[in-house]
Amino acid sequence: MNQPDDLIATLADIDPDSELARARQTRHAATQHAQGSYTVLFSQGDEDFPLAERRLLAAQVAGWHGQPGLQAHYHPQESLAGSDRINAAQTFAHRLTFEPVAAAPAHLEALKLAGWSLRGIVTLAQLVAFVSFQSRLLAGLRSLQGDEVSGEIAPVVAGHWHEALHTASGKTALTAFTQQELGWEPWLPAKPLTEFSEEEQATLAKFGHTDSDYFRLLARNLPLLEQRTLTDKGIFYTAGGLPRAERELAATVVSKVNGCIYCASVHARKASQLSKQDEAIQKLLNVASGAVLSHGHAARWQAIIAYSAALSLTPAQPTQSQLSALREQGLDTLALLDLIQSTAFFAWANRLMLTLGEPFLPE
């Protein structure tokens, strides 16, 4: 498979002399490591998840997200006969694409029964979530260049979320969004620290991942986790452009669309701390399932919430009128790029958090 130096720029047809290209160069770390994540995913070719399977599933996910160019790029060069293994992966990928909040431990067990290893399951979840991220990057970048969805969309509403009172292991579960600090427990065993080499342990320690079950689970494919972490840092921890508080606001919006209580708790808390707008953030968290997310906020935040929510739909549906509203609030190309990348990244993050485990209320 052809490995372009910047797949997103190629597929979004970004003019290298454009303001958008310059903004992406300003956000070089995000651009570099999004590409790095892609390179790792589609160069590993592990025995437990061969490249042909990765391409097949990536192409299907891109198609579900309404990205024909990305779908064509991933289309496998060889046909794969249907098998229990592939059928189980396709069912998993479809759920993770359209309704990640519906994921449950039994779905991971079904993958294991179909022959998927723990590392293979983690890489499969990463692949589906990553293509969800890529698809939203493409939709957002194309919207910046004037592409329009057909017609206006209705204001985006909050999704639904878990309502069970207890987690799979019996801990107290969350049935409402909160700014509290929460715990998160995996449905698959995190890789024990002793099973990592000294060099791998140093990589985990560098990013503060050593004591986290979530990150030691993702570290079953450590090269991919490393690129993902660097992508995250390149999107959220940079100067200028969209204020950090509003990048965190976007993360919270995506989490409300997808029903990810854990991600929302972390990023709503950061948005509150940075913006000093605790009441407005709590108002967003309190939006009921099926109710419009952007109602009742100041004009700038209404515009940010509306665009971020539309980009979080499957397929994504950002509109030119939403972009116009953002520009009227003073967002330039760099700030708009930050908003798109922050939103797209949480299409990735939510899908991992929701499908590999669940939050609980610490005692």
d(CA 164, CA 171): 11
CA distance 344 to 81: 32
* Model confidence, pTM: 0.96
Rg, Å, the chain Cα set = 19
Q: From 1.10.3720.10, 3.90.1150.10, 1.20.1290.10, 1.20.1090.10, which CATH number describes the 157-360 domain? A: 1.20.1290.10
Q: Averaged over 277-302, what is the pLDDT?
A: 96
Please tell me the total number of residues recorded for the chain in this structure: 363
Exposed e or buried b per residue across 315-339, where buried means at least 16 C-beta atoms within 10 angstroms of its C-beta = ebbbbeebbebbeeeebebbbbbbb
Query: To 10 degrees, the CA torsion angle through 175, 96, 228, 179?
Result: -10
DSSP 126-160: HHHHHHHHHHHHHHHHHHHTT---SS--PPPB---
- Please give the structure tokens belonging to residue 294: 């952007």
What is the distance of C-alpha 107 from the center of its chain?
Answer: 20
Same fold, 7-145 and 157-360: yes
For residue 185, what is the DSSP state?
E
Per the prediction, the chain carries an average pLDDT of: 95
7-145 folds as AhpD-like (1.20.1290)
- What pLDDT does 127 receive? 98
Q: How do residues 6-44 score in pLDDT, each as one tens digit?
A: 999 999 999 999 999 999 999 999 999 999 999 999 998
pLDDT at residue 149 tops 80? no
Domain residue ranges in the chain: 7-145, 157-360
Q: Identify whether the C-beta of residue 210 lies closer than 8 Å to the C-beta of residue 293.
A: no
Element (DSSP H or E) covering residue 357 = strand 357-360
What is the structure's pLDDT at 1? 47
Among residues of the chain, what percentage have pLDDT more than 90? 91
pLDDT, tens digit, 9 for 90 and up, residues 45-95: 778 899 999 999 999 999 999 999 999 999 987 777 678 999 999 999 999
Q: Where are the beta strands (DSSP E) in 209-304?
A: none
Stretch 281-287: mean pLDDT: 97
Residues near 197 by beta carbon (within 8 Å), at least 6 away in sequence: none
Q: Is the pLDDT of residue 150 over 70?
A: no
Is 213 in contact with 184 (CB distance < 8 Å)?
yes
Q: What CA–CA distance (Å, rounded) separates 131 from 14?
A: 19
